Structure formats: C-alpha cells, structure tokens
Structure 1
Amino acid sequence: MKKGAILTIAVSTFLIILSFTIFIAGSLILDRDLSDESIFRGDSGEVFVRYHDTYSVYVSDAYSCSETTVSIHDDEWEYFFEDCDFSYVDGDWRYIGYLNPDVSKNLQVESNNEIIIVNDLADASIIFTTLCPLPVCCSGIIGIFIGILLLTRRDKKRKQKIIFQ
C-alpha cells in the first residue's frame, strides 16, 4: 500500500510541475507583438479572409476610435463591425472592431489611419496555455491529498470471528 501512495504523490508532483511549466510558457507567449501576427497592415489594400474565421482590427494607440474610419468590404457587403473598446490596448495597438466573414475571399480595406488585422485563432494558443494548466494542477493537488491519505492510513488486521449457531 505504501508503494501505491508514494507513486500517487510522485505522479501528482509531476503534474503540478508540468502545469507550472505550461503556465510559464503561456505567460511568455502573452508578451507578443500583435503586428507580427497580423494578416494585414496598412491603410488600404486587399486582405484574404477565411469563411467563419473571426478577425480583430486594431489601430495605432496614437489614434482614438472616433478619429479612425475603417471599411472592409467586397462589391456588395461591409464586413467590418465597429466595437470600440477604449480600455483594450495591446502594446501599441488599440482594438477598434472585428470582422466575421461568411465567405473565403479577398476583401478591400480602406482606413484613414494605419490598421492591422489579426486572425483571432492566433489567440487560441494563448488561451490553451493559460487555461490548460488549471485542471492539471488541480488533479495534482487532489492526487497529493489522496497519496497522503494513503500513506497515513493504517492497515488494521481484521480478526475473523466465527459464530456458531
């Protein structure tokens, strides 16, 4: 029984160390530059978007949302939705809106200030590396608790009672 308890504690300790390692790696990813992940940078041009992907649009933090006009469109539809968040500044970029196209094609981009467009799937790795360690760490803590309980449990020899009728 003691070997099982020690093995449980060892595996649980490994899980906790693994979760901290993943969390630290996720923290390092958070120190990223949005312009490196952008699929478009500039004030006019063309950008290729994929069906049902979601894209965030940012403007230089030197400009406010009210100072920036953006149009991302094809011949028929406007795909840009203004969703200004004054408090969301990532590095040198301020979030000003998003687009969620229902087509895979090239769209025209026009803006009075320099913008960048970032595919939100690039942020999925950040979510994974910051949320994944939580259940792993919890499993490790529960495992250590169970291992300690197994270590401290005393095996009592059961006496066999014979009852005559």
Structure 2
Amino acid sequence: MIEQNSAMPVGELQERKDGEMISHNTAELFANKKVVLFAVPGAFTPTCSEAHLPGYVVLADEFKAKGVDAIICLSVNDAFVMSAWGAAQNAENIMMLADGDGSYTKALGLSMDTAGFGGIRSQRYAMVIENGKVTHLNVEPPKSFEVSKAEEVLKQL
C-alpha cells in the first residue's frame, strides 16, 4: 500500500466532461499542485452518495481557501457513471475521475475484492498530495467512514 511521503504512481484516469472523454496522466495531474484525492467503493452507493461525496461538495470552497488546487473523487467505475454521479450530486467543483479497470487503484495498493457485489473496487480513503507526493493518507477500516470525511481531511491542511 502507498504510504505517506511516497510518490504517486504514474497512470491514466478518465473523465467525461462537456460530452468529451478526457484521459489524465497522473504525473501531470499531480505535478506542482496540492490535490485532495478521495476514493469511494462505488458511485451511487449509499454512504458514498449520502455522506462522502456531499461532504467534499459542501466544503470545496474551504479546501480552495487552504490552497488546494483540485479535489478529485476516484472510483473503480467508468467515466460515464462518474460523470452522471457528479451531475446528480451537483459536484461541479470536484473532478470525478474513473479508474475503469482498477489498475491505478491496484498500483496504489488500495484495491479490495467485493466478489459478487462489484468485483475489484477501491477501499475508502482520502489523501493529500503535494507535487506528486503523499503528505497525508487516511485509509478507512472495512465498513467504516471516519478518517476520509471531508471535515477530517480539512483539519489536516
């Protein structure tokens, strides 16, 4: 599993924006920026939709005021699902990125197998990345939602 003070792995993440498919190279995405990245097991799932993503949507301006250049929500879903979920959640200030095949999540060492529920998904976590390096890493124990909440990450900035 990736650790605090580690460099982020290089990979590709997808975003559907304004009817276009955009591929983001993570080396470029995280270079010379302060980024809050949080990951969810699945778009439209109860905790993710009722609490996790909404917390970041509500507090986006406070993150920006603390010098955060981008807030990214990552899930092992496709870019179409992430785009629809972002629209449904009014997440205009959040980059809704897809790790369609789970390869980036696996490279981070933060994947989990949910078997019949959905297969390979991401663990729930949040991290702060400064210039491509992890400065804070908050990984939730299974079935928990405490340390990756927007309010908790905001306290770390």
The question of a shared fold, defined as TM-score above 0.5 by the shorter chain, is answered with: no
**TM-score normalised according to structure 2 size:** 0.24
The structure with higher relative contact order (CA 8 Å, sep 6+) is: 1
Q: Going by fraction, where is helix more abundant, 1 or 2?
A: 1
